[in-house]
Amino acid sequence: MEQLAHLGIGNFLLIDPDVVETTNLNRLVGASPTDVGKRKVDVAAAHARRISPEVSVEANAGSILLASVAEQLVDTDFVFGCTDSHGSRAVLNQLAYQYLVPLIDMGVIIVTAAGSVSHIAGRTQMLAPGLSCLLCGNLLNPEAVRVDLLTEFERNADPYVVGTHEPAPAVISLNSTVASMAVTMFLSAVTGIPSSARLLNYNAMTGSCRPAAVERHPTCIVCSSRGALARGPEWNLPARQS
């Protein structure tokens, strides 16, 4: 959001249910120790207004896993997905195609083994009609999606849910790299900057960034005409309905 505010984007809708924690301060741009306990959307909104006092920001501390919250994105022009769960990614993935709202999904991962880092990577992917979705790329774990979409009551009663979701570690340099890739991809899509990459994989171990392509499945339930593509309100989003 910081980069978009610097570029002159004037209207933002921020959605995030979390509050700032001490462990977030190593990567949460605009946050300081005095912000611990505050809603992340409010901290981000304040930071955007420091950059551009005229900016309009609507801050929503709801969860994208709720259909009523996710559907607020339908009237936006462009979405940046910075979620860290399979359930929320599944909701945003389908929303992009079902309501024809272009979206850039971002992800980072740091893998450790035997006490040392073995893999550091990032991914930036545009989701829009004509492009393959996360389901086509096998980037969504069906069981993880199912668990994420359970209510707290359902999760506690489900004998197949073991343990809890633990966020993966991340640092500001990796997050910023992937965010910059996403903003540049956004600019190429809306301003005509001559860059055709719509899926980029970043390998921090080798320092390489490579474009990639995933074949779109002709009968995909999300991004094909046989699925959710352009169905709008005719279909329910894969989200909690209440």
- What's the CATH code of the domain at 190? 3.40.50.720
Closest to 19 measured CA to CA, from 2, 48, 47, 42: 42
pTM above 0.85, yes or no: yes
pLDDT over 70 percentage in the chain: 92
DSSP string computed for 161-194:
--S---PPP--HHHHHHHHHHHHHHHHHHHS--S
**91 in a structural domain:** yes
What distances in angstroms separate CA 143 from CA 83, 87, 110, 224, one per listed residue?
17, 9, 22, 22
**242 in a structural domain:** no
Q: Which domain holds residue 88?
A: 81-234
pLDDT band at 207 (very low <50, low <70, confident <90, very high): very high
pLDDT band at 146 (very low <50, low <70, confident <90, very high): confident
**Domain match, 187 and 95 both:** yes
Q: Give the model's pLDDT for residue 154.
A: 62
**Domain match, 47 and 149 both:** no
**73 in a structural domain:** no
Q: Give the model's pLDDT for residue 60.
A: 97
Mean pLDDT of 38-43: 96
Mean pLDDT of 204-212: 94
**67 in a structural domain:** no
Please enumerate in sequence order all residues whose Cβ is within 8 A of that of 222, keeping only pairs 6 or more positions apart, or say none.
Answer: 93, 94, 97, 98, 133, 134, 135, 136, 228, 229
**Domain match, 98 and 170 both:** yes
Lowest mean pLDDT among 70-74, 80-84, 165-169, 208-212: 165-169
The number of angstroms, rounded, from the C-alpha of 115 to the middle of its chain's C-alpha atoms is: 29
Q: Give the model's pLDDT for residue 4.
A: 96
**Domain match, 55 and 99 both:** no
Three-state SS at 160: coil
**32 in a structural domain:** yes
Closest to 98 measured CA to CA, from 240, 241, 233, 242: 233
Whether 228 and 236 have beta carbons less than 8 Å apart is answered as no
**Is the pLDDT reported for residue 47 higher than 80?**
yes
Q: Which DSSP letter does residue 239 get? A: S
Q: Give the model's pLDDT for residue 169.
A: 60
pLDDT band at 161 (very low <50, low <70, confident <90, very high): very low
Lowest mean pLDDT among 15-24, 95-104, 141-150, 228-237: 141-150
> Which has more confidence, 26 or 99?
99
**240 in a structural domain:** no
pLDDT band at 236 (very low <50, low <70, confident <90, very high): very high
**Is the pLDDT reported for residue 94 higher than 80?**
yes
H-helix or E-strand spanning residue 199: strand 199-203
Q: Which DSSP letter does residue 39 get? A: B
Give the position of tokens 């509050």. 19
> Which has more confidence, 154 or 175?
175
Mean pLDDT of 171-198: 93
What's the chain's average pLDDT? 91
Q: How many CB atoms lie within 10 A of CB 43?
A: 24
**Domain match, 109 and 40 both:** no
Whether 124 and 106 have beta carbons less than 8 Å apart is answered as yes
Domains of the chain: total: 2
**Domain match, 158 and 93 both:** yes
Whether 148 and 154 have beta carbons less than 8 Å apart is answered as no
Q: Give the model's pLDDT for residue 153.
A: 61
Closest to 97 measured CA to CA, from 65, 128, 136: 128
**Domain match, 58 and 113 both:** no
Q: Give the model's pLDDT for residue 84.
A: 85
